[in-house]
Amino acid sequence: MSTRDDTTDVRDVPTERDDQPLLKISNLHTYFRTDSEDVRAVDGVSLTVDPGETVAIVGESGSGKTVASEAITRLFKSPPGYIPEGSIEINGREITDLSDEELRRVRGGEVSHVFQNPQGALNPVYTIGWQIREALQLHADVSKSEARERAVELLTQVGIPEASSRLDDYPHEFSGGMKQRVLIAIALACEPDLLIADEPTTALDVTIQAQILELLAELQEQRDMGMLFITHDLGVVAEIADRVAVMYAGKIMEKGSVEDVFETPAHPYTRALLDCLPGRGGIGGIPGELPDPRSPPPGCRFADRCRHAIDACRTGDQPGMHRVGDAPDHTTSCVHFEPGRDSSTVLDAGSEPAGSPSPPDDLERGGRR
């Protein structure tokens, strides 16, 4: 844990911590160029993550949640991807206009990622020891033996038994869950302030999923690290997150603390999502499809699938974020919550009638890319 102290010293964070979020995304857009019109994967997203806090972004495939998370350190493929507008601040520093070289230091240093599929996320031709060492040596001037020691330490922390004997093993000698642990070790190697975990458990067995979630929560606690957790699984959100943002078609539909959102889901989309959870009545997915990301319709993006849609939903822009009830930062983007309208139309409506007979995991099959 020695390095950890160093890093905290170097960055004069503690004093500013209280009034400044660790990550502040404002009005972020990320588009992908195609032969015809640009695909607007992320279309105006604002979000903050405070130190030590876990924020979850939840949404279906194609909602833009993964792109949004990768846009933070510009990991998406570019070209064709680009950020036409928006700002991303890490510890108060704007990073959208950093050069590649400067950004490189942010990646892995201040902000780390863990991805969805551990199977392919480790380079098959290098030992895991090599891959952890690479991460360490990129951001700190450590000798090979120091790095080795540190790698063993990290692997032990993420729960790899007999870590020192496994350093020279190749990725194919690890199981999926073990690989994900290694990847978490790599992500944590340089003591990041923010960990972005993009569906880190989706590709794993159910039992392993729980272990990994637990591990992440534990590590976050120990290190007081901020975490941005991307998932399509509301159950996982309830388990791990402090706050949640619901994303749909490149926009945020609702955000607030986990309690508020689960207690009083406001946006019709959130409500529909919650209804899809097992044991909540509705069994079908949400009928309808995501709007075309090349030319999204005017008004609310969810209008075509929304049972509460009214004429006002189909004009102008996406409705602004309106307060829901009295909760301090529980907001939603729905016209029914505009001041002067009756939000109970939505809030008091019963469970959605079961829609099309498609299975719930259709949620994950949407038109990706």
Tell me which residues touch ligand SF4 (CB under 6 A): 267-268, 300, 302-303, 306, 308-309, 313, 319, 334-336
Min dist. Cβ of residue 272 to ligand SF4 (A)? 10
Report the partner that residue 122 touches, choosing among ligand SF4, other proteins, none (CB closer than 5 to 8 A by kind). other proteins
Report the partner that residue 313 touches, choosing among other proteins, ligand SF4, none (CB closer than 5 to 8 A by kind). ligand SF4
Q: In what order do the strands lie in the sheet containing 243-248?
A: 111-114, 194-198, 226-231, 54-58, 243-248, 251-257, 331-332, 322-323
141 sits near other proteins (criterion: CB under 8 A): no
Which of the ranges 49-57, 134-142, 308-316, 335-343 carries the binding residues for other proteins, by CB under 8 A? 134-142
Which CB atom, from 90 or from 303, has the smaller least distance to ligand SF4? 303
Ranges within 45-74 binding other proteins (CB under 8 A): 73
Report the partner that residue 303 touches, choosing among other proteins, ligand SF4, none (CB closer than 5 to 8 A by kind). ligand SF4
| Cβ–Cβ under 8 Å, residues 304 and 313 | no
Min dist. Cβ of residue 172 to other proteins (A)? 5
Which CB atom, from 185 or from 273, has the smaller least distance to other proteins? 185
Min dist. Cβ of residue 304 to other proteins (A)? 25
112 sits near other proteins (criterion: CB under 8 A): yes
**What is the identity of the amino acid at 174?**
F
Provide the sign of the torsion angle of the four alpha carbons 120, 224, 68, 139, taken in this order.
Answer: negative
Min dist. Cβ of residue 195 to other proteins (A)? 11
Provide the sign of the torsion angle of the four alpha carbons 216, 222, 223, 225, taken in this order.
Answer: positive
Phi, psi of 222 (to 5 degrees): -55, -40
Min dist. Cβ of residue 200 to other proteins (A)? 12
Label residue 122 left, alpha or beta by phi (over 0 means left) and psi (-120 to 50 means alpha): beta
Structure letter (DSSP) for residue 368: -
Min dist. Cβ of residue 135 to other proteins (A)? 5
Q: Give the pairing of strands 54-58 and 243-248.
A: parallel
Which CB atom, from 179 or from 336, has the smaller least distance to ligand SF4? 336
Phi, psi of 22 (to 5 degrees): -70, -45
One character per residue 146-185, x = contact with other proteins (rule: CB under 8 A): ------------------------x-x----------x--
Element (H, E) at 261: helix 258-263
Which CB atom, from 12 or from 348, has the smaller least distance to ligand SF4? 348
Which CB atom, from 74 or from 267, has the smaller least distance to ligand SF4? 267
Question: Strand, coil or helix: what is 149?
Answer: helix
Which of the ranges 15-23, 76-84, 273-281, 315-323 carries the binding residues for other proteins, by CB under 8 A? 76-84
| SS3 track for 271-292 | HHHHHHCCCCCCCCCCCCCCCC
| Rounded Cα distance, 11 and 17, in Å | 11
Helix locations, 91-243, DSSP H? 100-106, 118-121, 128-139, 144-157, 163-166, 176-188, 206-223, 234-240
| Rounded Cα distance, 223 and 7, in Å | 12
Which CB atom, from 62 or from 177, has the smaller least distance to ligand SF4? 62
Min dist. Cβ of residue 266 to ligand SF4 (A)? 9
Report the partner that residue 73 touches, choosing among ligand SF4, other proteins, none (CB closer than 5 to 8 A by kind). other proteins
- Given the rule CB under 8 A, which residues bind other proteins? 73, 75, 77, 79-80, 100-101, 104-109, 112-113, 115, 117, 119-126, 134-135, 138-139, 170, 172, 183, 186-187, 189
